[in-house]
Each structure stands twice: as C-alpha cells, then as structure tokens.
Structure 1
Amino acid sequence: MTLRETLGRIVAQEDLNFLLTNRLPRRMATTLVGRLSRIEQPLVARATIATWRYFSDVDLSDAAEDRFRSMHHCFTRALRPGSRPPDPDPAIIASPSDAIVGACGPIDGDTVLQVKGSPYRIGELVGDADVAAPFRDGRYVTLRLTAGMYHRFHAPHDARVDWVRYLSGDTWNVNPIALRRVERLFCRNERAVLRLTLTDGQWPLLLVPVAAILVAGIRLHFLDTERLLRAGGPRTVPCAATVVKGEEMGWFEHGSTILIFAPPGFTLAPGIAEGSRIRAGQALLRMPD
C-alpha cells in the first residue's frame, strides 16, 4: 500500500476526519489557509499546489491556463471556452457547477433533507419564511463541490438576479461526515441567497451557495462581494442583474455546496439522484410543461 493510500484510509475514518476538519479553530484555519494559498513566491506556490493535488482528485486538463501563480489562482481557475456548454433545451434548468448530487427530491412543505434523517427548513436557511413560500412543495437539489473540482458556478437559465442576501456564519466542513453529525449545518455556515426570476417572468428560482472550512469566501461577478460579504450582518442587496444560461456568475474559494430550490411543477432531470456526478451545464431540473 502506498503512503497516499495509507493516509487516505486514516483520514477516511469518520471520527478522525471529523476531528481534523471540524474540531480545530475553523475561522483561524480558514484565515491562515486563505493567506497561504495566495502566496505567489514560486517555491511556496509549487509546494502548496502539489500538496493539494496529492490529497485531491484534481483534473487540470481543461483549465484555461497551464501555469498558476499560487494555489488560489489554481483553485479558482477558469476553463477553456466551450468546456461546459449549457443544455440548449429552454425547458431545462442546467447545473450551475460541477458537483456530486447530495440530497434531492420533493420539498415537504418548507422542509428538505440535509442527509437522510436530518431535516432543515428553507425559511431558516434563507432567513425569511416569506422568501421560502413560493418553493413550498417544490423540488430541491443539493450540489456538493469537492476540493479537487472546478469551483466556478454558472447561470442555470436565462434569468434576472432580483437580489442577493448575505448571511454570515460558521465554516463547518460540508462533507457527508459533517452533514450526518451537525444538525442544520447549511443554516449555520456562511452563505449567499440569490433570488432569480427566469426570463419568462413566471418562475422563481433560489440558488444558495454555502461556504465551508478553509478559504470559505463566495464571490459574485455582479456585486462587489470582496467588500459586501464581509461588511456587517445579514442584509439584502437589490441587483436586477441579467444572466444568460451558462454565463459565469461567481466562484467559491474552497470546496462547498450549492443548494437549488424550484417551485411546484418542476421535476428532476433523468439521472439526477443522490451520489450521481454532474458537470456545469448538464440537465438538472425540468420546468413545468
């Protein structure tokens, strides 16, 4: 057995994994790793990128660049144009990101599952029961981005971003081990709520990027999130930003999760089930006929 396999088995042990990723000072670790990842000194950059790639299944074959100034530059990499074409069917809501599908399916009133046996309420997640109301008894999908995945996310459909609500919070790991152990974890972590209206003007959609341990930050192209997301408590910012299906909307600065909520009448696209892998642009949900 190789050293990598041995270390992988050790870290895979649930108790140890939870201890390593959640019982250390999460905010302190997030700040330190964020600073380390941005160091552009060539030796440090090569060492941090090599360490990250050693422990993560990183595929850089479709990256727009083949040289990176820092681990942060590599982690938040863009892809070559055309690498993630969106599904052309206008009735399809495309996946905003590369991901592993987590809990998904019907919304039970205002309640969805974090994992089996661990419910949370959409109203608590978004900080307002009225915002959650249009999605009662609709459909939801949890998209988990692993550390080695492409970390930019894209518009799931032609739409208008009506507003963004930022909710500061913790930085729990969002891997399956933590989701089984920490109740309502998504409602505790730093997150942004994006309220979209599809271009037909009829259907709303909620996208909720949830940050996680280590670099944590969520960045959006249509807002000055470098300043906004760290300045103060919960608040809602009007946007009226228009996006085209497949257009890049923002990125994570570490592995995390995107939660998607659709109103009644939407259905999961074929093949969308817990544990399946999906890439940005592929079919995720189908609009009502």
Structure 2
Amino acid sequence: MNPFAHAPESPKTRWRDRLLLNEDLNFLLTNRVPRIALTRFMGWFSKIRSPWLARLSIWVWRQFTELDLRDARLQRFDSLHACFTRELVPGARPVDPDPAVLVSPCDAIVGALGTVQAGTVLQAKGMPYPLADLLGSAEDAAAFEGGQYLTLRLTSAMYHRFHAPDDATVTDVRYLSGDTWNVNPIALKRVERLFCRNERAVLRLRLHDGQPLLIVPVAAILVASIRLHCLDVLMHLRWRGPRDTRCHAELTRGQEMGWFEHGSTLVILVPPGLAPVVRTGERLRMGQALLRRGPVIGLS
C-alpha cells in the first residue's frame, strides 16, 4: 500500500487545492506579508499551553493540509508546538540497514538535485544560486565541487524531525540568520537565491568511512527556529551567535539530530562517489534509501 495515497477528492480538497494552486494568490498570502513578524507571532502562539486551543488550531491546520497523526506517539497535545514537533511511535520509520546506502534524514518531497558545477546548484529549474552563498563559505563550497546536492522539502503536515543519514560525527555547526521566505515550489520559481536569504544552519558531518557530508536546514515563514541536539541552544531569529560552533556529536544511522518548528527544507551535499537513488518529485519517509555509494547515474 502506498503510504502517501490520498482518499477520494472531497469538496474540502477541491477548494483547498484551487486556493493553493493559484500561484499568484499563494505567493501573495505566503510571502507578501510581514514574514518575520508573523513568524515570531507563530513562535509565541504555538507554545501557548491550552489543550482546547491546540485542538482548534489543529482542526484549522487540517483544513489546508493532509495532516495525519496516526503514527504520532501522542494523540493529544497541550500546544500547537507539541504537535509540530511530535515524536513517532517506535518502528514508524524503518531505517534501511544496507551499508552501501545513505538514508533520507527526514520525511520529504525531493526537490532539485544534481551535480555541483562551477560552484553553482539549482533551487528550481532555471533558478541557480552560488553554493558559497548558501554555506557562507567559499572554501566549503569548493570542497563539494563535482559532488551531488539534493533538496528535501518538508511540508507543514509532515513529521518535522530529522535524523542522521548514516553513522557519522557532527564536527561543527555554522548558523546564518536571515529572512523567512516561504520555501514552496511557487516561491522557489520566483525568488532568486531564496535559500541563501533565509535563516539556516550548516551542519558539517564526517561519515564513518571518512567522507564529508553537509546538511543545511533552511527555515521558512512561520518556522525560523532550529533545534539541534548537539548544541544546547535554540537557534532562532533573535539569536545572533556564535556564528560557528565546534562540537563532537557521534551519531548512529537514523538517530535523531533535531527538528524544525513547522516545516521547511534540508539541502544535502555529498562528495563525488555517492549517487542519488531518488528522483525529483518523489515522496520519501525518513529511513528510506537516498544515496548509494557508487557512480552517479544522472537521476533527475
């Protein structure tokens, strides 16, 4: 059975999809608004501890998304934040044990992917951006020239925690404060260098075989805070540093690394020798095979 299969189209689905697929209206409602102010408000509102307010907020949320809480560890929440950052029941996300693959760190829809060429990658077709701008370092960008990048988009209804794609050590974290543009496909086609504008963190990992890997969580409107277990701090819009933090966090494949407070994007960067086994538009669950050690076969 396809875990992402949808129920038959309902009147609610029809009106919601008409609204969300109207590109001009979608872009206006999710970007041409006071993004940072709304994001800060949502951060405050979501943490109000009130079970009845949480139930009401979740009901409204469900009118616009396919929110499915059947695999959540808790079925009742005392705040909207608790629902956003929910844990899952044990075994809900089996992790591929094949040592030849790296697994998806999160539930996601695969966005742009391909080879880093001349220090440039794509956020959407026809919308390139300099990798150095995303990472805040030309040296880091140069280290992944000829390697692969993958963009994994988490929708607001998805499970929002992200995990280690393989046995690895987190060696340091760079935090880059920024804006809170929406990161949906409509915005990615219209806003140049969008990922480079938004708040983000750059997590540098060393895999068990010695290869480097970067995971870049990019925040978005209504999100703009990132929690990492390897750092004893919540990174958010009002936090101004330090920019670079050394750490030494050893992780096993599938171990939880942190979470977003709504939904957003992970950009994954790997060196040559790792090939994607997924395609643009594919829906993934955390733990599914994402990359295989071997030659790049040009999936897109």
- TM-score by length of structure 1 reads 0.95
List aligned pairs for 1:152-231, cutoff 5 A. Answer: 152-201=161-210, 203-226=211-234, 230-231=238-239
Where does residue 34 of structure 2 map in the other structure?
A: 25
List aligned pairs for 1:126-141, cutoff 5 A. Answer: 126-141=135-150
- Which stretch of the first structure deviates more once superposed, 36-45 or 186-195? 36-45
List aligned pairs for 1:5-24, cutoff 5 A. Answer: 5-24=14-33
Q: CA deviation at 1:143?
A: 0.2
* In structure 1, distance between residues paired with 2:103 and 2:20: 34
- Quickly say closer, same or farther: Cα 1:238–1:228, change in 2 above 3 A: farther
Aligned 8 A contact 1:167 1:234 in 2: no
Aligned 8 A contact 1:168 1:234 in 2: no
Deviations 1:9-49 (A, max 9, x none): 12321011000000100011111122121222232111111
Q: CA deviation at 1:225?
A: 2.5
Q: Following superposition, which runs of at least 4 residues in structure 1 exceed 6 angstroms of deviation?
A: none
Where does residue 291 of structure 2 map in the other structure?
A: 285
Deviations 1:205-236 (A, max 9, x none): 00000000013211101102326874325711
Q: CA deviation at 1:96?
A: 0.3
Where does residue 97 of structure 1 map in the other structure?
A: 106
What is the letter of the counterpart of residue 26 of structure 1? R
Asked if 1:45 is matched to 2:54, the reply is yes
Where does residue 254 of structure 1 map in the other structure?
A: 262
Q: Could you list the runs of 5+ residues in structure 1 that have no partner in the other structure?
A: none
- Quickly say closer, same or farther: Cα 1:2–1:227, change in 2 above 3 A: closer
Where does residue 5 of structure 2 map in the other structure?
A: none
What is the letter of the counterpart of residue 81 of structure 1? P
Where does residue 121 of structure 1 map in the other structure?
A: 130
What is the letter of the counterpart of residue 9 of structure 1? R
What is the alpha-carbon root mean square deviation over aligned residues? 1.6
- Which stretch of the first structure deviates more once superposed, 123-132 or 3-12? 3-12
Asked if 1:150 is matched to 2:159, the reply is yes
* In structure 2, distance between residues paired with 1:9 and 1:227: 35
- TM-score by length of structure 2 reads 0.91
Where does residue 121 of structure 2 map in the other structure?
A: 112
Where does residue 282 of structure 2 map in the other structure?
A: 276
Asked if 1:239 is matched to 2:247, the reply is yes
Q: Could you list the runs of 5+ residues in structure 2 that have no partner in the other structure?
A: 1-9, 296-300
Instruction: Report the number of matched residues.
Output: 286
Aligned 8 A contact 1:49 1:70 in 2: no
Q: CA deviation at 1:6?
A: 2.1
